[in-house]
Amino acid sequence: MPKKRTAFFVSDRTAITVEKLGRSLLSQFDGIQFVQVTLPFVDSIEKARDTVRQINEASMADGERPIVFSTLILPAVHNIIEQSDALILDLFESFIVPLENELGMPSSHAVGKSHGTGLHYTERMDAVNYAMNHDDGGITRDLGSAQIILVGVSRCGKTPTCLYLALQFGILSANYPLVPEDFSDGVLPSALKHHRKRIYGLTIQPERLAQIRAERKPNSRYASLENCRHEIAQAEKLMKQANIPFLDVTTISVEEIATTLLHLTGLKRSGM
Amino acid sequence: MPKKRTAFFVSDRTAITVEKLGRSLLSQFDGIQFVQVTLPFVDSIEKARDTVRQINEASMADGERPIVFSTLILPAVHNIIEQSDALILDLFESFIVPLENELGMPSSHAVGKSHGTGLHYTERMDAVNYAMNHDDGGITRDLGSAQIILVGVSRCGKTPTCLYLALQFGILSANYPLVPEDFSDGVLPSALKHHRKRIYGLTIQPERLAQIRAERKPNSRYASLENCRHEIAQAEKLMKQANIPFLDVTTISVEEIATTLLHLTGLKRSGM
C-alpha cells in the first residue's frame, strides 16, 4: 500500500498559485498518496487558528505531520500557522527576505496586490468577450483585430485555447473551424484570406479525436475513426499548402498550447 | 526617478506558476520599476545558455544584477542558469530538498508532471463546453447538471466567472441573466425555479456597471447610470426575496470571485 500524507495549500488570498506550485512539487514524489486540502482566504486570526486545528487533526489521524504549502502575506496569520504540527513551506517568507536584501528596501507586506482588478484586468475581460464572440467562426467581419486566429477540425481544442489565452493573458483570439466543405474547395475559407499571418493551426491524433467526438456523438459518422483520419489529413494538407504553422495538441494541455502559441507569435502576456 | 531592475521568470515548462508567484512577490516592492521577461520552455542546454546570455546582457545594461525567478526541474538546465549574473530564486530547488528530507525519498526530477492532460483534464475541457452552452441562459433544459448557476444583471461578470470556474477548476457552471422583464414579474425566471440551491448572484456598483456598459454601447439608455442603478436595485431585491446569496464583484477579480464561490458552495476543485 502506498504511504498516505496530507498536504495543505494555505493562503490569505485565492490559493491558486500556491496550489499549483504545491501540486507540481508533490507530483515529483511518486510512491506517496497525498490527500490535498486547499484553504483560501485565511485572512484573520480566527481563520488562522481554525486552520491550525485542521492541520493538527490531520497530523494525528495520519500519524505523520502534514506538508503545508503557504503564501501568507499577513505576518499575524503567518505566525499562528507556523505553530502547527507540520512541515511548513511558505513561498512568501522563503523569497521575501532575499528580495528585501537584494533590493535594499523592506517589502510592503500588503495583501491584495497580485490578482486585483487593476492593470490588465479590463484587457483580460475584454479578451474573454472577444473570444466568446469569435468562437467557431462567429462575427467574422472583425477578425482584423484578432491577435491570434486558431484553425483546425471540430473538437481539436480551439475554444478552450482561445478562452485560456483571453482569461490568462488578455490576448484577443478568434477561432475558425475547418470543415469538410473547405477540404473539397482545397483552399482556406475566404473569411481567413486576409489574415494569414495571424493564423495558427491545431491538429490532433485521429484516435484521440474520435474518442473526444464519441463522448459528444457516440456511434456517429462524425466520431468514427475513419472520418477523423480523413478530416485531419485534409486539414493538415490545407494548412501546409497555406503555409500555416500548426501544433499537435494530442498530449499537451491547454496551458501548454496557449504558452507555446504566445512563444511562436512573440505576443506579450498581459498576465495577472 | 524610480529605480529600474529587470526580473526574469524562467521555466522548463509554461512558466505560468513562476510568473504569478514572481509578480506577486515583486508587487510587494513599491518604489521599483521592474522590467519583466518571461522565458518558458527553457528545456535544453542550448536554450539555457541563451537564457544566461539574456540575463547577463540585462545585468550589463541595468548596472544591477537581475532577479531571476525560476522553476527548473531539469538539473542540467538549472546548473547552467545558476551561473548567470543574477539573484536566482529557484522555487523548485528551494522546496524540493526539504520535501525529500521530510518524505524520506528522492524526487523524480521529471518534467511534465504538473499540467499534463491526464487526471481532471477531460473534466475541465467538458466544463468549458458546458459553460459555453449555458452562457446567457442558453440550453436551459439541462440546468439540472450545473454545479453553480450564476445570476445577475447584464455585464456584471457572470460569463468570465463561469469560464474561469470551468477552465481552472472543472466546475460545471451556467449563467442566467436577470433582465427588466424579470423585475416587473417580481419573481425568478421560471427556468431557475427548481435549482434554487445552486444559484448564486453577482452584483456590482452602478457607477462601475455604467462604465463597463458604456464601453460596449456608449450613450445608450442601457449604459446610463440611472438605468444601471434601477436594474441593480431590482436585481438585488429579487435575489433577497428568493434567498439567493450574492457577491459584490466591483473590486474583486474573476479569480477571487471563482474562489469565493467554490468556498461558499463547498465544491471540490478538480484543479490542474
Give the residue, B161 or B109, on which the prediction is more confident: B161
Instruction: Read off the DSSP letter of residue B188.
Output: -
DSSP A156-190: SSHHHHHHHHHHHH---EEEEE--HHHHHHTS--G
- The set of residues, in sequence order, having a beta carbon less than 8 Å from that of B120 and lying 6+ positions away, is B170, B270, B271, B272
Q: Give the residue from B25, B56, B20 showing the smallest Cα distance to B38.
A: B20
Give CA angle at A221 (A216, A226), nearest 5°. 110
CA distance A215 to chain B (A): 10
Round to whole Å and give the CA distance between A195 and A218. Answer: 35
Q: Tell me the count of A-B CB pairs closer than 8 A.
A: 195
Average pLDDT on B105-129 reads 73
pLDDT of A259 higher than 70: yes
Instruction: Give the sign of the dihedral formed by CA B176, CA B178, CA B181, CA B183.
Output: positive
Round to whole Å and give the CA distance between B141 and B175. Answer: 13
Instruction: Read off the DSSP letter of residue A140.
Output: G
**Do A93 and A130 share a domain, yes or no?**
no
Q: B69, B103, B137 — which closes off a domain?
A: B103
A181-195, B7-21, B188-202, B206-220: lowest mean pLDDT where? A181-195
Q: Is A73 helix (H, G, I), strand (E, B) or coil?
A: coil
Cβ atoms of A20 and B114 within 8 Å: the answer is yes
For residue B260, which residues of chain A lie inside 8 Å, CB to CB?
Answer: 41
A17/B13 CB distance under 8 A:
no
Residue B149 lies in a domain: yes
CB atoms within 10 A of CB A132: 21
Residue B108 lies in a domain: no
User: Which cell numbers in the block locate residue B154?
Assistant: 447584464
Which among B29, B116, B128 is the nearest to A253, CB-wise?
B116
**Do B129 and B43 share a domain, yes or no?**
no
**Do A149 and A233 share a domain, yes or no?**
yes
**Do B221 and B136 share a domain, yes or no?**
yes
Give CA angle at B152 (B150, B158), nearest 5°. 55
- Chain centroid to CA A90: 23
**Do B146 and B27 share a domain, yes or no?**
no
Residue A236's pLDDT is 96
Residue A270 lies in a domain: no
Query: Euclidean distance between the first and final Cα of chain A, in Å?
Result: 41
B89/A95 CB distance under 8 A:
yes
- Give the chain B residue whose CA is nearest to the CA of A69: B95
Output the CA–CA distances (angstroms, integers) from residue B148 to A66, B158, B210, B263, B267, in the order listed: 31, 11, 26, 12, 9
Tens-place pLDDT, residues A157-197:
999 999 999 998 999 999 999 998 888 888 888 889 889 89
Which among A24, A107, A272 is the nearest to B113, CB-wise?
A24
Q: A103, A138, A157 — which closes off a domain?
A: A103
Residue A218's pLDDT is 93
**Do A127 and A260 share a domain, yes or no?**
yes
**Do A134 and A226 share a domain, yes or no?**
yes
Residue B249's pLDDT is 95
B125/A255 CB distance under 8 A:
no
Domain count, chain B: 2
Give CA angle at A263 (A257, A264), nearest 5°. 90
Q: Which residues pair with B69 in a beta bridge?
A: B9, B89
Tens-place pLDDT, residues B218-227:
999 999 999 9
pLDDT of A199 higher than 70: yes
Tens-place pLDDT, residues A40-85:
999 999 999 999 999 999 999 999 999 999 999 899 999 999 999 9
B94/A98 CB distance under 8 A:
no
CATH at residue A83: 3.40.50
CA distance A15 to chain B (A): 8
Cβ atoms of B65 and B59 within 8 Å: the answer is yes
Residue B270's pLDDT is 61
pLDDT of B7 higher than 60: yes
Residue B20's pLDDT is 85
pLDDT of B117 higher than 60: no
Alpha helices in B104-197 (DSSP H): 121-133, 158-169, 180-185
Instruction: Give the sign of the dihedral formed by CA A160, CA A163, CA A169, CA A173.
Output: positive
Residue B115 lies in a domain: no
| Domain residue limits at A232 | 121-265
B254/A89 CB distance under 8 A:
no
Q: What is the mean pLDDT of chain B?
A: 90
Cβ atoms of A163 and A157 within 8 Å: the answer is no
Average pLDDT on A223-240 reads 96
Q: Is the ipTM of this complex over 0.90?
A: no
Residue A185 exposed, middle or buried by CB count within 10 Å (0-12, 13-18, 19+): exposed
Cβ atoms of A9 and A18 within 8 Å: the answer is yes
Which among B30, B117, B164 is the nearest to A167, CB-wise?
B164
Round to whole Å and give the CA distance between B259 and A13. Answer: 9
Q: What is the mean pLDDT of chain A?
A: 90
Predicted structure pTM score: 0.82
Average pLDDT on A234-257 reads 94
User: Which cell numbers in the block locate residue B1?
Assistant: 526617478
A255/B263 CB distance under 8 A:
no
Residue A111 lies in a domain: no
Give the residue, A88 or A13, on which the prediction is more confident: A88
Residue A235 lies in a domain: yes
Residue B113 lies in a domain: no
Confidence of residue A272 (pLDDT cuts 50, 70, 90): very low
Which among B20, B87, B160 is the nearest to A114, CB-wise?
B20
**Do A153 and A218 share a domain, yes or no?**
yes
**Do A97 and A229 share a domain, yes or no?**
no
pLDDT of A114 higher than 80: no
**Do A249 and A129 share a domain, yes or no?**
yes
Confidence of residue B112 (pLDDT cuts 50, 70, 90): low
CA distance A237 to chain B (A): 26
Residue B224's pLDDT is 97
Return the C-alpha torsion angle B141, B145, B148, B149, nearest 10: 0
**Do B38 and B80 share a domain, yes or no?**
yes
- Chain centroid to CA B22: 15
Residue A62 lies in a domain: yes
**Do B89 and B130 share a domain, yes or no?**
no
Interface probe, candidates B78, B129, B259, B263, chain A, greatest A C-beta count within 10 A? B259
Round to whole Å and give the CA distance between B226 and B248. Answer: 19
CA distance A153 to chain B (A): 16
- Give the chain B residue whose CA is nearest to the CA of A90: B95
Residue B272's pLDDT is 44
